[in-house]
Amino acid sequence: MYPQLIIIEDEADLLSFYRQEFEEVGFADVVCIDNTERVVERIVQSYTKPTLLLCDYYVHPIPPSRYLPELRNAGVEIPAVLVSGRIRADQINGISLIYPVHGFFEKAPNVKLLVNSIAKHLIDMGPEAAHAWEKYQLRREVNSFIGGMTAEQCSALLCLLAMEDVKAITADVNIGLNAVYALRKDMIKFLGKVSSPPRYTALVSGLRDRISLSVTLR
């Protein structure tokens, strides 16, 4: 099954042609957006399955150099492909530094040939979309798991992940022994009997972000 495809394009005829051609190729779920007003909110609402993003660089009022980083800050990193007839290479390179851009196509007079080339590229990117979706889901699980924790609980959990002694943790983090044991029980349940590296890494990253935010807000 092909990923969902979100297309951002303000030329009505081209957008209609895109939808028709990509659906014929096999993209059954095509979401079309003809302007970038509240675009991050609209993309996040549509992001309910593995997704690819195809966007024209010059769609008003917000350029991808602004909304793609905002999308990333919202926890969504949909693999993106840019299309434009008048964009410079340095602009593409600049965006690539702040968001994962997986391709660029220059608009050409032969639109049919352009769409065929883009479609082949997007089909090849299917695993990228699946991987991005798995990361997003895992991040949501982590945020749900640690959402109600205090900074002290997050710190204690990091120590548990580092295999530190439980009694030493109670002294270092100023948290009760029973609370640490309860955290360890919850941690084992979250990680599963066989802890996978992605789950472990995602949990450590989420805890560090949460602690950093707590310190910043003090």
> Over the stretch 28-57, which tens digit does the pLDDT of each residue have?
999 999 999 999 999 999 999 999 999 999
Indicate the domain borders of the chain: 4-135, 147-217
Beta bridge pairs of residue 82: 55, 104
Residues 6+ apart with CB under 8 A from 95: 64, 65, 68, 82, 101
The pLDDT score that the predictor gives to residue 86 is 79
The pLDDT score that the predictor gives to residue 87 is 78
Asked if 133 contacts 49 with a C-beta cutoff of 8 angstroms, the reply is yes
CA quadruple 54, 75, 93, 66: dihedral positive or negative?
Answer: positive
The pLDDT score that the predictor gives to residue 108 is 85
Q: Give pLDDT tens digits for 185-214.
A: 999 998 885 567 888 898 998 898 888 776
The pLDDT score that the predictor gives to residue 1 is 67
Element spanning 102, H or E = strand 101-106
Fold (CATH) for 4-135: Rossmann fold (3.40.50)
Write out residues in the chain with pLDDT < 50, as ranges.
Answer: 215, 217-218
